[in-house]
Amino acid sequence: MTNPRQTQRLSADEAGIAAAAELLRAGRLVALPTETVYGLAADASDDRAVASIYAAKERPSFNPLISHLPDVDAARRQGLFDAPALALAKAFWPGPLTLVVPASSACTICSLARAGLDSVALRVPSHPVARAVLQAAGRPIAAPSANRSGRVSPTQAEHVLADLDGRIDAVLDAGPTVVGVESSIVACLGGAPRLLRPGGVPRAALEAAIGQALVIVAEGGAAPLAPGLLASHYAPRAAVRLDAEAPLADEAWLGFGAEPNSGPLPALAFNLSPTGDLTEAAANLFAAMRRLDDQRPATIAVASIPMHGLGEAINDRLKRAAAPR
Ligand code: TXA
Ligand code: MG
């Protein structure tokens, strides 16, 4: 347990951004908006600040964190980029991509944030408010998603407060995030680049930038290469039934595209994208899961979602939400 604290609500204006950066420089915890999900931010070079992230989230400490930088040059001071890593950084930064690369000898990211690994996970987000805070903070900022460990990731400041009010120093509220699923994570550690987590950049786009297919890291592999890939991550309280053609009696319904014509939908129903737009569905996914789950259904039935584009990341998160726990 962390000490109860007063959680300040900061608005995403000049004063709020300056206050957030000041808190971060003082080793405090601030939830920040990014284009993917809200992150629980702390100074990545400060072991105590990073330790308080793990404590607030109740996250197992073997799980390494992503460090956020304001631009590619700042990221290249922290890590060693091979040719594929450089190509990916040039194509997708700033944006929803995380690169796992060997730490440089000048790396200032503390070993707790790296969970003792000699690699680092780096990301240059595109959200203007995140970039302004990173500029003002002037140091790498560690930020996992701002939810309690194992819960659904937050895409709105209200979601952050539902999980972490009284456990963090501030939340900087910039409204709902636009991408809605976390960054894609690619490891470039020599040899062929590996996709550790499907996310906000579709796999086909990543592969086009490096001119080769990504190695997909099999789930449940030996080492916790990307421990966020633990099967029961992203868990609502309800059971989740995937690839449903229609809801059964008493099930809540999470639809996609045209609704089933087998009968009326339950009162507790939400459509991720009535037009079948995967980008819109990704942006709505976590908020919809929270909204349904808050009404305490026993089971949420989910329509099947195609695997192309952002569908791979959406299906990945849904599969984890449905995993036994
Ligand atoms: O979109 C995002 O990536 C969000 C926003 C806030 O930036 N952040 C996020 O962070 O999702 P987090 O901590 O929830 O996920 C970090 C993932 C985990 O699966 C972790 O295991 C993996 O990155 N990771 C971090 N460092 C790693 C490393 N050195 N090697 C392999 N995997 C690593
Ligand atoms: Mg997370």
pLDDT digits (tens, 9 = 90+) for 219-276: 544 444 555 555 556 678 999 999 999 999 999 999 999 999 988 999 999 999 999 9
Q: Is residue 316 part of a domain?
A: yes
Q: Are residues 14 and 98 in the same domain?
A: yes
Q: Is residue 1 part of a domain?
A: no
Ligand nearest the Cα of residue 32 is 1
- Within 8 A by CB and 6+ apart from 265, the residues are 247, 253, 255, 259
Among candidate residues 1, 7, 2, the one with its CA nearest the CA of residue 166: 7
Confidence of residue 88 (pLDDT cuts 50, 70, 90): very high
Angstrom distance (rounded) from CA 84 to CA 120: 16
Q: Are residues 248 and 224 in the same domain?
A: no
How is residue 204 written in tokens? 């086909």
pLDDT of 81: 98
**CATH number, domain with residue 51:** 3.90.870.10
State the Rg of the chain over Cα: 19
Of 230, 249, 279, the position where a domain reaches its end is 230
Q: Are residues 250 and 202 in the same domain?
A: no
pTM score of the predicted model: 0.90
Q: Quote the number of domains for the chain.
A: 2
User: What ranges in 58-150 are assigned the alpha helix state H?
Assistant: 72-78, 83-92, 128-137
Q: Is residue 3 part of a domain?
A: no
Q: CA dist 272 to 22, 158, 276, 290, 318, Å?
A: 38, 19, 8, 13, 13
- Within 8 A by CB and 6+ apart from 238, the residues are 252, 292, 293, 296, 297, 298, 299, 300
Of 184, 200, 230, the position where a domain reaches its end is 230
pLDDT of 141: 98
Nearest CA to ligand 1 atom 12: 144
pLDDT of 116: 83
Nearest CA to ligand 1 atom 22: 226
Q: Range of 246's domain?
A: 239-322
Q: Is residue 159 part of a domain?
A: yes
Of 230, 250, 267, the position where a domain reaches its end is 230
CB of 227 within 6 A of ligand 1: the answer is yes
DSSP string, 7-44: -EEEESSHHHHHHHHHHHHTT--EEE--SSS-EEEEET
pLDDT of 62: 63
Amino acid in the structure at residue 171: V
Q: Are residues 261 and 179 in the same domain?
A: no
Q: Are residues 140 and 255 in the same domain?
A: no
Atom of ligand 1 nearest to the CA of 98: 3
Nearest CA to ligand 1 atom 13: 144
CA of 264 relative to ligand 2 center, distance in Å = 35
